[in-house]
Amino acid sequence: GSTDNCGIDSFYVDINTFDCDDIGDNLIQVVVFDTGNLCDTGTVIVTVEDLEDPIFDYWPDDIITTNCIEVEYDLPHVIDNCDFFNVELVDGFFPGDAFPVGINLVEYLAADASGNTSTCSFYVTVESTLMVSIQTSALDCELPIIATLIPTGGLAPYHYQWSTGATTPEIELISSADLGWTVTDSEGCSLAGDVSIVVSPSINIELVATSETGMDMNGAIDATVTGGAPPYTYIWADSTG
């Protein structure tokens, strides 16, 4: 403040209006006149602060789609009293990205040069009716074993991908394997899973014959079986069948 024995008549400052370009400390020149037209000068520091948050004046409504390849939406719009702000995606995916099946949060953050922030958010729900079952040929002695992916729902045609690199719905196996698979429909929606196929090893039979002695009908044949899938069933037949 200013004082004078004769009273203050007027004062002058070289800057008396401030805007966003003046945020921070500003050195102001002040001239004070008394009623005798005497004057004195001084300086003051005026600190300008921006305390207003940016405002999202538009953001998309929640979206429901069956398209997993890409989801389009209009970007949120922001206004700010100082017009110096940055908008960034903090959660979710950009327009045109592929969204996974399910409910996806999309959130944007606006921040101005003074650190004031605000957010907006909406949900993108990707619905898919795609289902996949797996069928295998009989796990018997007939090789190869054939595993088949059978998709339903979604939108044909389908794309197949096995962990072996195969891209057909069927895969042939001659030995046990743990396989991963992915099926993708024409809208980009996909399902993935794993399957374990157990292929029994080939059956091997070793026969050891013991000859009859002394016409005592004490001959024998001993069979040793390996491979296959125990327990075993034995059927013996003589020369007459």
Dihedral angle, C-alpha 95, 97, 103, 106, nearest 10 ° = -40
DSSP-derived pairing of the beta strands 102-112 and 85-91: antiparallel
Q: Are 87 and 62 in contact (CB under 8 A)?
A: no
Q: CA-CA distance, 130 to 183, in Å (whole number)?
A: 9
pLDDT for 3: 61
How remote is the C-alpha of 160 from its chain's centroid? 21
Residue 208's pLDDT is: 86
pLDDT at residue number 179:
93
**Which tokens in the block code for residue 215?**
């016409």
The pLDDT value recorded for residue 139 is 59
Decide if pLDDT at 11 tops 80: no
The mean predicted confidence, pLDDT, of the chain is: 88
pLDDT, residue 16, reads 85
Q: 197: pLDDT confidence band, cut at 50, 70 and 90?
A: confident
* Residues paired with residue 224 on neighbouring β-strands, in sequence order: 206
**How high is the pLDDT of residue 141?**
63
Q: Say whether pLDDT at 140 is over 70.
A: no
Distance CA 63, CA 112 (A): 28
Q: Which of 15, 171, 173, 236 is nearest to 181 (CA)?
A: 171
Q: Which residue has the higher pLDDT, 172 or 200?
A: 172
CA 10 and chain centroid, separation: 67
| Tens-digit pLDDT profile for residues 67-112 | 888 999 999 999 999 888 899 999 999 999 989 889 999 999 999 9
Q: What is the pLDDT of residue 115?
A: 92
Give the gyration radius of the chain's Cα atoms: 42
Partners of residue 193 on adjacent β-strands: 181
- Of 150, 142, 141, the closest CA to residue 170 belongs to 150
Amino acid identity for residue 235 in this structure:
I
Q: What pLDDT band is residue 150 in, cutting at 50, 70 and 90?
A: very high
On the question of pLDDT at 4 being above 60, the answer is no
What is d(CA 117, CA 4) in angstroms, rounded to the nearest whole number? 46
By CB neighbour count within 10 A (0-12 exposed, 13-18 middle, 19+ buried), where does 37 fall? Answer: exposed
The pLDDT of residue 55 is 95
